[in-house]
Structure 1
Amino acid sequence: MPLRLLAPLLALLALPALAQGTGVGFGSGSFDRGAPVEVAADSLEVDQATGQAVLTGNVVIAQGDLRLSAERVDVFYSAGEEQRIDRLEAKGDVLIVAGEDAAEGETAVYQLGSAEILMTGDVVVTQGGATLAGDRLAVNLETGSGTVTGRVRTTLQP
């Protein structure tokens, strides 16, 4: 096979590896869902009819070692009598800190029932001096496992 035809073939074979993403540990995996939740924001709007609350302006939500900050967080409640928080949707300069690990991006959706976070938009994960960047981060807080996908970038120290 001529060398000029081999290069595009090798490039195509490399694409699935980039699409699969890179596994990353995030948090300690010992997340306490029973810990009290502390919330601070400049403004709070509650719509009883839709079961939604909107926090805006310097929003900070903390539970145990987990802290989420953003410009806006929409709070969605589950249907039923207990009205538990089902999910949080954070937008604008989102920062999530779990223990000594941190991740930042443009948006994040936190599903409380499954303890899963999906962060998108120029995601940067920082862990003890190491930095990993990509388009998307999916994290399970109970297991502490995560995956960065999209165009994954990092700097490896020798």
Structure 2
Amino acid sequence: MMILRALVLTTFGLLAGAVHAQTAAIGFGQGNFDRAAPVEVAADSLEVDQATGRATLTGNVVIAQGDLRLSANLVTVDYATTGGTRSIERLNATGDVLIVAGEDAAEGQEAVYTLGTSDILLSGDVLVTQGGNTLAGDRLAINLESGAGTVTGRVRTTLQP
């Protein structure tokens, strides 16, 4: 409902010609994300640098956590060590990035996913698809736990009647 309201308001603003939309709030992934779910990874190659605690995945990278899927050409994985336990802190994806959460999808050129806060920042010709509706802009910031998201930049939308 929140996305429909935001899309309608954005559309009326564009049609009126008086508002040049720079921001649009959306719902993404319905807010039922389980950040405690295991992270599954597939890629054509994996390189691990023990000194920096960074792993680099290249070629057809697909990362899944619950019903969240992130795919890209290249993903670097940053780890954090707390109390002697190493865990994934952040994923940095580049090249044809696609994020799917339930029936919602977003694509762009770069994404940073911070696992501890469940925040994703997607940038570079962002396109969000929800049902038959689309919303495009320069950047998308979403929180997977709440489902709240904001598209910024030159925001454009297409609504299906």
- Aligned partner of 2:10 in structure 1 is none
Cα deviations across residues 36-87 of structure 1 (Å, max 9, x unaligned)? 2211000000001001000000000011110000000000011442111110
**Structure 1-normalised TM-score?**
0.87
What letter matches 2:134 in structure 1? Answer: T
Q: Distance in 1 between matches of 2:19 and 2:42?
A: 45
- Aligned partner of 2:9 in structure 1 is none
Unaligned stretches of 5+ in structure 2?
1-16
- Aligned partner of 1:117 in structure 2 is 120
Contact 2:132 2:160 in 1 (8 A): no
What letter matches 1:67 in structure 2? Answer: R
Contact 2:132 2:159 in 1 (8 A): no
Q: Distance in 1 between matches of 2:30 and 2:67?
A: 9
Output aligned runs, 1:63-74, within 5 Å: 63-74=65-76
What letter matches 2:68 in structure 1? Answer: L
Deviation at 1:127, TM superposition (A): 0.2
What letter matches 1:143 in structure 2? Answer: S
Cα deviations across residues 107-151 of structure 1 (Å, max 9, x unaligned)? 000011100000000000000110000000000000001000000
Report the RMSD for the aligned CA atoms in angstroms. 1.4
Unaligned stretches of 5+ in structure 1?
1-10
- Aligned partner of 2:28 in structure 1 is 26
Aligned residue pair count: 144
Runs of 4+ aligned residues of structure 1 deviating over 6 Å after TM superposition are none
Output aligned runs, 1:84-123, within 5 Å: 84-123=87-126
**Structure 2-normalised TM-score?**
0.85
